Structure 1
Amino acid sequence: MTAPKDVAPDRRTAVLRTPRFWLAPIVVVALLMSLLAALYMGGILDPKKHLHDFPIAIVNQDEGDTVTTAEGDKPENFGNQITDALVANVPADKVDLQQIGIGQARSKLDSGELYGAIVIPSDFTKRLLILAKASVVPGDVEKPVITVFTNPRAGTFGVGLVTAITGPALATVDTKVGEQLTAQVDAQLGGNTQVSGAARLSLAAPINVLTTPHNPLPDGTGNGLSAFYYALLLLLAGFTGGMIVHSLIDGMLGFAPTEFGPRYVHNPAVEISRFRTLLVKWAVMLVLAPLVSGLYLAISTAIGMPAPHALALWMYGAFAISAVGITALAVLAAFGTAGLLVNLVLFVILGLPSSGATIPIEATPTVYAWLANFEPMHQVFLGVRALLYLGGGGSGDLGHAVLMTAVGLLIGLVLGVTVTTLYDRKGFHRGTVRPETAAV
């Protein structure tokens, strides 16, 4: 392909020989990808190391029982001992171990405020003492059960963390209770009767730990990932949709060239202010948002995704797409081509690792928790998760998501109106820079 006639060969050579021509794309891409790698890999490699304020409940319903000793009867409550041992052994700086009742625990599990709950039943001590008696007296007996409820609706990765935290802690407790129970049996027998080997093995590990999900997710939720991918779709519809609207409208208004394969088109520039151009783009985005949100919902439900609050999901989806798209277009209006990088960093590079959708925020470095306070991806995920998994509530997650989405929309509106009006008043009209005056 021959060079354009209006570009002199000596100028073309000068541009190509300029170090900035080669360094600019290399440096920008290298820095962005380094930031991407640091944030993404730094957030997933060692979640247990970065645990902080990870909420798990311990529900002690044990009513205790009376133990007969040589000194007489005395009250015993193994549930209290286990609770105290867990509180002492579970690192308080990593796990927020909440001692609450069963009703409150269920409510917090339903709303996604807890990743798990350890429940000690009311007859726990009584069953342990029956197990001790059964070691020397024939009869059928079952080990007492401690139930660990996981919460897949709060995040599937959180299920694994709950198991990793409670498993070793309860194993230690099981050993200590076993030692205590064995010592009590030996003391009561006084060496006159030998406990069988099988009975001693049972006494050494007297607790049966049962791990079970609380309110399991239905089929069609991608094992708890559907909320994340749906939220990502909404964010991409606003972010990439805004980019496409920006490029196409600028091309049709003559502010930027457009290429279709080998065909190069550069329409004559239309006399229109920056502010009105932005209003046109916003209007297109407002039409697209409910349309795309409806398409997402229709396609997702058609292929099997449960949507218990379909109307609310469509409405919030349209709102989120509008807010992200309007803000992305405002950033482009303010920063021009550099706005592409700003949007990429804001909505993708910083957004995905701080979303809390795949790995809980409480299992990532604290900087991610700070980013989650304002990053759009986290807010959108909270809203979608509340509508798909948490009955539309989620301890105020939906209300929080709507509020923060509205704040983001307001910021985009203010930024866009302020900057484009200022540019128009200063006479920074959009035009074509002559080749001979362009900076090298």
Structure 2
Amino acid sequence: MPPKRGLLPPVAIVTLLVALFGYMYLGYTSAPEQHLRDFPIALVNQDLGDTLDGKPTNIGDSITEGVVAGIPDGKIDLRLLGINEAQQQLQSGEVYGAIIIPSDFTKRLAILGAAAIVPGDVERPIITVSVNQRAGAFAAQIVDTIAEQALTKVNATVGAQLTDLVQAKLRPAPGMPPTEISGASRLLLDTPIDVVFTDYRPLPDGAGHGLAAFFYTLVLLLAGFIGAVIIHTMTDAHFGYAPAEYGPWYLHRSPTPMSRWRILLIKWGLAALTAPLASAALLGAARVLDMPIDRPLLLFLYGTLAVTAVAVTALSVLAAFGTAGLVINMIVFVVLGLPSSSGTVPIEATPPFIANLAAFEPMHQIYLAVRSLLYFGGHMEAGMSHGFWMTVCGLGVGVVLGAVATHTYDLGGLYRLGVSHKPEAGAAPK
């Protein structure tokens, strides 16, 4: 009878996994604003300037300097761009949003100041905050918060300067009674800038405010990971290397004399056969739910590649580490994958130890490609190129790991039949 202490490892493993799950998942969702670093936002100053109080003035330049000075070092990657370059980076998902100062900003501000003295209809100058929700739903909220905080200070500063300018113009000549700014005019001068928040290329209905790409990625990864476990378990049962239980029925066939390498090849073949079916099933489900998909063929092909890469790698880990491979796969593909995927909280708003995982974690690479195909037309610079080649590299790593591990075991005589020598083909296992 095996010792009872052999029943304790499952308890310890589950406890450690739950602790790791909690640390990773709660760690990346708690206080993302405090973890901000190099969060990319574009600032576009198109202001041509105008004459204020007889002096050439460009308030847009002053606002730009104020915003740059007010942005905490290291937290925000504020990119001073022209309008065309800013739109290109918005279109490719390189920036999460853009603050745009229009060309007539100073001119409108001058008109607003004059309207405080001479009655008439007037419009406040506008600063537009263009939010790129396609790059991430939570990232868009962070852009809103950052822009609102920065431009609230700008509004107060510009308002104070404009009020002083108007009061100087209203200063009476000697012997004349003082002229006061009306209450309505003072309110307008205190907050002279109209900050308008807009969505850059708003997402269509059915996109889940940008979360659809994350969940599509999650299903692809689970298809490969869970598919690998199912293929591994049922194939081993079929060839007699593990028992099969179906309710009260128990079946354990005699092991078939086969090398580890040959069995792994069969499992890889089943994974390659399953991958296009799984990708097609997911795409079909998305179609039934009216999810907007601009590039269905490319999404199907990449989904097939992603499922294959995850399944092949997971099967290689199982072949190399046996039962421990289940835990390793769980940690690599799920525990570490979700927090570092950037599908919910952007990488720039996660703790550094989680952000570093995105350099190699499979889910992040798959997410970049899926997001590009769903929201950015599959453009290579929008993450498709990076995601595709990293997925191919992941597939290569899986193939090399499986080939090296199984050949090493086979050459060392470590067969799965419980014997020290390689059985002859067709021989009954001992």
What is the SS of the residue equivalent to 1:395? helix
Aligned twin of 2:47: 62
1:6-405 to structure 2, matched below 5 A, reads: 11=1, 15=3, 18-21=4-7, 23-68=8-53, 73-191=54-172, 192-393=178-379, 395-405=381-391
Q: Which amino acid in the other structure matches residue 429 of structure 1?
A: Y
For the residue of structure 1 that corresponds to 2:34, the secondary structure is: coil
Please tell me the residue identity of whatever aligns with 1:60. N
**C-alpha offsets along residues 217-270 of structure 1, whole Å, 9 cap, x if unaligned?**
001111111100111111011100000000000001000011101111111111
Q: For the residues of structure 1 that align with 2:402 and 2:52, how far apart are their CA atoms? A: 75
Distance in 1, matches of 2:5 and 2:229, equals: 29
TM superposition shift of 1:187: 1.0
Tell me, in whole angstroms, the C-alpha distance in 2 between the residues paired with 1:233 and 1:150.
27
| Alpha-carbon distance between aligned partners in 2 of 1:244 and 1:318, rounded to the nearest angstrom | 18
Once the two structures are TM-superposed, the CA of residue 20 in structure 1 deviates from its matched residue by: 3.8
Q: What's the offset of the Cα at 1:19?
A: 2.6
8 Å contact kept, 1:386–1:392: yes
SS in 1 for 2:95: coil
Comparing 424-433 and 119-128, the one that deviates more? 424-433
Q: Cα distance, 1:48 vs. partner?
A: 0.2
Provide structure 1 residue ranges, at least 5 long, that are not aligned to the other structure.
1-10, 434-440
Say if 1:50 and 1:365, in contact at 8 Å, map to a contact too. yes
Equivalent position SS for 2:35: coil
**How far apart are the structure 2 equivalents of 1:305 and 1:394?**
22
Deviations 1:91-123 (A, max 9, x none): 121001110001111111111011110000000
In the alignment, residue 51 of structure 2 is paired with which amino acid? Answer: T
Deviation at 1:432, TM superposition (A): 5.3
2:412 paired residue number? 426
Please say if residues 60 and 83 of structure 1, whose CA atoms lie closer than 8 Å, have aligned partners that are also in contact: yes
2:422 aligns with: none
1:308–1:388 contact (8 Å) kept in structure 2: yes
- 1:400-423 Cα shifts (integer Å, max 9, x gaps): 111101111111101111110111
| SS in structure 1 at match of 2:414 | coil
Checking the alignment, whether the CA contact within 8 Å between 1:379 and 1:405 is kept in structure 2 is: yes
Q: Deviations over 1:251-300 (max 9, x none)?
A: 01000011101111111111111000000000011111111111111121
Question: Aligned with 2:117: secondary structure?
Answer: coil
Amino acid across the alignment from 1:295: A
Assess if the C-alpha contact under 8 Å between 2:257 and 2:417 holds in 1. Answer: no
Identity %: 50
The code of the aligned residue for 2:155 comes to D
- Kindly state the Cα deviation for residue 396 of structure 1 after the two structures are TM-superposed: 4.7
Q: Is the 8 A contact 2:220 2:279 kept in 1?
A: yes
Is the contact made by 1:238 and 1:321 (CA closer than 8 Å) also made in structure 2?
yes
Q: Is 1:112–1:394's contact at 8 Å kept on the other side of the alignment?
A: no
Structure 1 position 164, deviation (Å)? 0.8
**How many residues matched?**
414
Tell which deviates more after alignment, 424-433 or 302-311: 424-433
CA contact (8 A) 1:110 1:394 kept: no
Take 2:219 and 2:310, find their aligned partners in 1: how far apart are those partners? 12
Q: CA deviation at 1:352?
A: 0.5
Aligned partner letter, 1:78: I
SS of residue matched to 2:293 = coil
Q: Distance in 2 between matches of 1:396 and 1:111?
A: 4
Q: Which amino acid in structure 2 is aligned with residue 85 of structure 1?
A: G
Give me the whole-angstrom Cα distance separating, in 2, the residues matched to 1:400 and 1:224: 20
SS of the aligned residue for 1:49 comes to helix
SS at match of 1:190: coil
When the two structures are superposed, what TM-score results if normalisation uses the length of structure 1?
0.93
Deviation at 1:301, TM superposition (A): 1.1
**Distance in structure 2 (CA, Å) of the matches to 1:185 and 1:337:** 78
Retained in 1: the 8 A contact 2:240–2:255? yes
Structure 2 counterpart of 1:264, one-letter code: Y
In structure 1, C-alpha distance between the alignment counterparts of 2:380 and 2:65, rounded to whole Å? 30
User: 2 CA distance for matches of 1:240 and 1:323?
Assistant: 13
Deviation (angstroms), 1:25? 1.3
